[in-house]
Structure 1
Amino acid sequence: MKAPKSVCVYCGSSSRVADLHKDTAHALGEGLARRDIQLVYGGGRVGLMGIVADAALGAGGSVVGIIPEHIQSAEVEHTGLTELHVVDSMHTRKRMMMERSDAFVVLPGGLGTMDETFEVLTWKQLRLHDKPIVIVDVDGYWRPLLGLIDHMIAQGFAQTGHRALFTVVNEADEVFDALEHEPEPSLRTRTQKL
């Protein structure tokens, strides 16, 4: 696959996390900017969200933030972005993130990150898109989630092929190699609106 022009990053807004997670967010943001890949993310300036955005901006990158008005103050919107879109709902935010991105990268995060991740995985399963999804399993953070997906498959609630909906890497530098080796989109996606 050719390198994406824009990558959506899902990640946590908490700052009370291990330095390893912060370092990974910084490395990813910097890596995106160095490769001239636009960052699309949730628009906050705190936690891993703020770190990935600041790192991309600091390295001369382009950053698009999309934040719902009802959580604008809670996530402390980032005012130094290339573009900041304040939208009416979480649904609008997720749809815009999907539309503005060529690929998705999942860093450690909480319930919101899981919600975004499962929605983009489900949309891919339903062939509403065919964009790469890379999960960054820093220090085994996502291992329980990956185990749950394997359990769903073993119990017959998901198909074995659903494991191929995403790629798992262990650190930020591996994201770019994973994106480059992702197969070209099949163009079999449905034309249904997201």
Structure 2
Amino acid sequence: MHEFMELSLNSFLFFANPQFQLSPPHGKVSRNIDLVYGGGSVGLMGLVSRAVYNGGRHVIGVIPKTLMPREITGETVGEVKAVADMHQRKAEMARQSDAFIALPGGYGTLEELLEVIAWAQLGIHDKPVGLLNVDGYYNSLLSFIDKAVEEEFISPTARHIIVLAPTPKELLDKLEEYSPQHEKVVPKTKWEMEQLSYCKSCEIPPGLKEGKPVVIQAQRGAML
């Protein structure tokens, strides 16, 4: 039996498509939480950031300099951090947040969502990952994940890394009660130690050292 882990969820990282518009019934939720997001001022990103900021909470937007002309129009709120690229953006957003929430979105949202899920499975972090399934938007993705569990590419416990709910209030309640149940590939402390030592103990495969191609094979049912 897994007990609930007491979380201090003060800062949430939101993944979303800037063009997605959240309808009023789904958008009304009030919590004393800070916001970390992709830094845009248009569409859903702008709506959420203004709502949190007007509620007296701290807002941090992290955005690559190249995307600023496209995703920032007019007034921005809170703190805006300009970074060099997408890798730095994601690393900084993850560092600043206590939990992750994905709203309906496209390729970018999916990439960010699946990455933080993979990080949780690997043991890089133990933060809850929430999926706001508005009007069943993510049902097809969830069916795909269930198929991967059935085919033994994803373990049943790792399936529960995703915290799912159709409304913001229900999702936030579940995130605050989240307790990891999956077996981490590597302990979190090991990742932290490796980062501090810059992975000095990591060995490069001989083929890579010699500049030769390395073939990676995966069997049906293999756990990656």
Which interval holds the TM-score relative to the shorter structure? Answer: 0.7 to 0.9
- Residue identity over aligned pairs, in percent, reads 34
Whether the aligned pair in 2 keeps the contact of 1:44 and 1:78 (CA below 8 Å) is no
TM-fit CA distance, 1:77: 5.7
TM-fit CA distance, 1:134: 0.8
In the alignment, what sits opposite 2:88? 92
- Residue number among 4, 16, 26 corresponding to 2:9 in the alignment: 4
| Cα 1:178–1:153 shift into 2, 3 Å | same
Whether the aligned pair in 2 keeps the contact of 1:50 and 1:78 (CA below 8 Å) is no
- Residue number among 19, 31, 37 corresponding to 1:14 in the alignment: 19
Aligned partners of 1:108 and 1:173: how far apart in 2?
A: 16
Aligned partners of 2:41 and 2:174: how far apart in 1?
A: 27
SS at 2:104's partner residue? Answer: coil
In the alignment, what sits opposite 1:150? 146
SS at 1:73's partner residue? Answer: helix
SS at 1:128's partner residue? Answer: coil
TM-fit CA distance, 1:23: 5.2
Aligned partners of 1:138 and 1:87: how far apart in 2?
A: 31
Which moved further from structure 2: 86-95 or 162-171? 162-171
TM-fit CA distance, 1:102: 0.6
TM-fit CA distance, 1:94: 0.2
Whether the aligned pair in 2 keeps the contact of 1:38 and 1:63 (CA below 8 Å) is yes
TM-fit CA distance, 1:97: 0.6
Letter in 1 for 2:10: K
- Residue number among 62, 65, 70 corresponding to 1:69 in the alignment: 65
In the alignment, what sits opposite 1:162? 158
In the alignment, what sits opposite 2:98? 102
| Cα 1:153–1:98 shift into 2, 3 Å | same
SS at 1:129's partner residue? Answer: coil
Whether the aligned pair in 2 keeps the contact of 1:43 and 1:78 (CA below 8 Å) is no
TM-score (norm 2): 0.75
Whether the aligned pair in 1 keeps the contact of 2:41 and 2:76 (CA below 8 Å) is no
